[in-house]
Amino acid sequence: MSLSHEPGRLADREDACRIDVWLWRARFCKTRGIAAGLVERGAVRLTHHGREVRLDKPSRCVHPGDALTFVQNGRVTSLQVEALGERRGPAEEARALYSLLG
């Protein structure tokens, strides 16, 4: 598998996670399908190494240190990805995956 330095593109699986999976693990969406729909509607922006892109496919990847901004239920959420997580765990575990910005 080749590595890509383009934001949101498929990358090394050890330090990256699909955006739909991450949003589900972090408990921003009840299902991966809902998370995928959020991304497909263009409601998620990713900032990776200072470059911001609007994600368009649920298969795009996020990395620790990336910033995400998305609109859900009329609310704008901005956060930094702190960890990728291994599973969809309890709320306390999910909150450890990110830190809210401003």
**What are the structure tokens assigned to 8, written together?**
């949101």
pLDDT at residue 1, rounded to an integer: 33
Q: 12 lies in a domain?
A: no
* Domain that includes residue 33, residue range: 17-100
In a domain, 41, yes or no: yes
The mean pLDDT value for 69-75 works out to 91
Structural domains in the chain (count): 1
| CATH code for the domain in which residue 59 is found | 3.10.290.10
The answer to the question of residue 6 being in a domain is no
25 domain residue, yes or no:
yes
Inside any domain, residue 9:
no
Asked, for residue 11, whether it belongs to a domain, the answer is no
Map the chain to HEC letters: CCCCCCCCCCCCCCCCEEHHHHHHHCCCCCCHHHHHHHHHCCCEEEEECCEEEECCCCCCEECCCCEEEEEECCEEEEEEECCCCCCCCCHHHHHCCEEECC
**For the residues 50-69, what does the mean pLDDT come to?**
96
Q: What is the pLDDT of residues 4-47, one digit of tens each?
A: 444 445 444 579 999 999 999 999 999 999 999 999 999 999 99
Residue 72 — very low, low, confident or very high, per pLDDT cuts 50/70/90?
confident
Q: What is the pTM of this model?
A: 0.85
Task: Give the rounded percent of residues in the chain with a pLDDT score beyond 70.
Answer: 86
Question: For residue 87, is it within any domain?
Answer: yes
Q: Is residue 23 part of a domain?
A: yes
